């Protein structure tokens, strides 16, 4: 599967998804993972937050999980807010969970890992902000 680039492809993914896990979620309202999640949630997505440093705390009234594996439901989109150097670890966690779409926020992508995930059949988005795309396409 190719890396998704067109608006029609992104719109189809967004409209066909209900659950979003935010990897690298922050409790700090000034951080992109926080305010992007705040906006994305307004489009009807059920949000799950993953950050081992904040496990057991809450973000936007939802429990924070230590790992993606700990999230108790199937996830449609994994929204990645981790450094590119963590992409390989992120990919392993995503493979273990079996999510459909991996959304690397701008500046988080490792293109080698993104291509590997796409070749394995995952929908992969790079270089586009989920908040911006929700506002534009939904």
Q: Are strands 3-4 and 123-126 parallel, antiparallel or unpaired?
A: parallel
Interval 43-66: pLDDT, tens:
999 999 999 999 999 999 999 999
Which residues form the domain of 29?
A: 3-137
**pLDDT(1) > 70:** no
Interval 76-112: pLDDT, tens:
999 999 999 999 999 999 999 989 999 999 999 999 9
CATH of the domain at 110: 3.40.50.720
Interval 28-37: pLDDT, tens:
999 999 999 9
pLDDT of 4: 86
Cβ distance 41 to 60 under 8 Å?
Answer: yes
Give me Rg for the CA atoms of the chain. Answer: 13
pLDDT of 98: 86
Q: What angle do CA 78, 66, 107 make, to 5 degrees?
A: 40
> How many folded domains does the chain comprise?
1
Q: What is the pTM of this model?
A: 0.95
Round to whole Å and give the CA distance between 11 and 124: 13
């Amino acid at each position: 599967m190719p890396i998704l680039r067109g608006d029609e492809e992104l719109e189809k993914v967004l409209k066909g998804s209900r659950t979003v896990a935010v990897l690298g979620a922050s409790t700090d309202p000034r951080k992109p993972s926080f305010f992007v999640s705040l906006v994305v949630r307004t489009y009807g997505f059920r949000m799950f937050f993953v950050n081992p440093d904040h496990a057991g705390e809450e973000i936007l009234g939802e429990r924070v999980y230590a790992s993606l594996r700990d999230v108790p439901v199937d996830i449609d989109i994994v929204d990645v807010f981790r450094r590119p150097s963590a992409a390989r670890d992120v990919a392993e966690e995503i493979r273990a969970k079996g999510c459909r779409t991996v959304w690397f926020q701008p500046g988080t992508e490792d293109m080698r890992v993104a291509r590997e995930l796409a070749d394995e059949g995952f929908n992969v988005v790079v270089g586009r902000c989920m908040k911006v795309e929700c506002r534009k396409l939904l």
